[in-house]
A and B are shown apart, each in its own frame.
Chain A
Amino acid sequence: MAKKTYDLLFKLLLIGDSGVGKTCVLFRFSDDAFNTTFISTIGIDFKIKTVELQGKKIKLQIWDTAGQERFHTITTSYYRGAMGIMLVYDISNAKSFENISKWLRNIDEHANEDVERMLLGNKCDMEDKRIVPKAKGEQIAREHGIRFFETSAKANINIEKAFLTLAEDILRKTPVKEPNSENVDISSGGGVTGWKSKCCS
């Protein structure tokens, strides 16, 4: 008889300009709440949320980064460990959209080559303040071969969908574990076991 706490751990990372709503997007997903006061993230923070996909309990550890340039050296050191990265811009902020290419370069430079990427155009509830057309977001996502959603943390639009889609994409690439590997002897598994060696054990 076995009861699992979770089957897989996925590490996700939120990046993008300061003030686009990364923390709010995460807060909506993890706590289903929204706060209008802007508190700039200091360096790096994280939240945990367990979801169920294809009968598997997947623990998501989601790292929330500071968008401000001054934290650059701290935040980029977290790219390497991420299996999925959400790049967020603000549809009412042209600069945050222009900077997408800069953030994509950061991913190329600091993240794993096979990291799953996703583009989010946040604050889509603010239609009256929109500067970046949805089509432009779709276009740049297409050019880079990544998924795209317009989201609103405030109005709770597409938030859960975005996270679940990203987790699904990672799950799809995740090697299926062998049935008898469920009873891994944990006491002997203290060493660093890589993802790949794990699937072959």
Chain B
Amino acid sequence: MDAPRDSSPAMAFEKDALQLTVEDVYDISYVIGRDLLKISKAGAQVSDLQFRIVRVLEMFEVLVNKYNLSVEELKMERDNLKRELDRVVGEKSAEQGSTLGPDKMVVDLKDPNRPRFTMQELKEVLQERNQLKAHLLIAQEELQLYKSGLLTGPHQSSESAMVEVELEPAIIPVISPQITTITEEDESKDEPKDEFKEEKTTIRKLFSFRRK
């Protein structure tokens, strides 16, 4: 006579309380109702109890329903927050790559003509260039002096005496002593054997190998 549905309604009693669904509550109601029917001949007291049990089961139904809805809602809420987080993180990283403040510049790393050096680096390169240029001019001038026979002796032109141009931009103009220094004809001109004990000029450094 008890034709159980797919499984026995009594199985609902075995379940974990937190796993219960409203269907389980209905199964429980069915089983309790059936059992009460068996003892209903006992009288009015059983009938009263029966109403109370129905009431408790109705409350149970509401609670299980409510609980399951809450779990579902929380799961949805969690998934929504996850998606929102992914979106915000994605936007943020995209922002750093493209949208910039008014003073910022976008540099295409594939552009061969993109800016690569800082102003400080350019400044240093230019300083070095100008220094080399100054040395070249000094060497040329010295060569000219040698050619014209003005520069022969050891004393008059240590290398430092020939450094004539000042390249340090931030320095207050300084006329260093060598600027007003005159290049003298040296008396030792006629005794050239001692010449190379003295400091060598740039040109002399370049040509000294000939004398070795």
Q: Using CB atoms and an 8 Å cutoff, list the residues of chain A in contact with chain B.
A: 1-9, 11, 42-46, 48, 59, 61, 73-74, 77-78, 80-83, 112, 177, 181-184, 186-187, 189-190, 192-195, 198
Contact = CB atoms under 8 A, between A and B. Distances in A.
A187 B180 contact: no
A66 B34 CA distance: 103
Contacts of A77: 123, 169-170
8 contacts: A4-B183, A5-B145, A45-B126, A81-B170, A184-B180, A184-B181, A192-B174, A198-B180
Interface stretch (B22-30, B55-63, B65-73, B159-167): B159-167
B122 to A, nearest CB: 6
A195 B123 contact: no
Nearest to B145: A5
Contacts of B171: 80-81
A186 B166 CA distance: 17
B172 A193 contact: no
Nearest to B140: A48
Given A4-B183, A11-B166, A198-B180, A43 B173 contact: no
A193 B137 CA distance: 23
Nearest to A43: B126
Interface in B164-199: 164-166, 168-185
A42 B170 contact: no
A6 B138 CA distance: 13
Contacts of B15: none
A6 B164 contact: yes
Interface of B: 119, 122-123, 126, 130, 133-134, 137, 141, 145, 150, 158, 160-162, 164-166, 168-185
Contacts, number: 113
Contacts of A81: 166, 168-173
User: What are the nearest 10 A-B pairs in CB distance?
Assistant: A189-B177, A78-B169, A77-B169, A43-B126, A2-B182, A4-B182, A9-B179, A61-B165, A1-B185, A184-B177
Nearest to B162: A5
Contact of A80 (B150, B164, B170, B182): B170
A82 B185 contact: no
A116 B19 CA distance: 96
Contacts of A183: 182
A43 B150 CA distance: 37
A86 to B, nearest CB: 16
A64 B170 CA distance: 16
A195 B173 contact: yes
Contact of A74 (B122, B134, B150, B168): B122
A194 B174 contact: yes
A80 B4 CA distance: 105
Contacts of B160: 186, 190
A46 B130 contact: yes
Contact of B165 (A7, A48, A194): A48
B65 to A, nearest CB: 73
B161 A186 contact: yes
Contacts of B158: 186-187
Residue among B161, B180, B181, B185 with the highest chain A CB neighbour number at 10 A = B180
Nearest to A75: B169
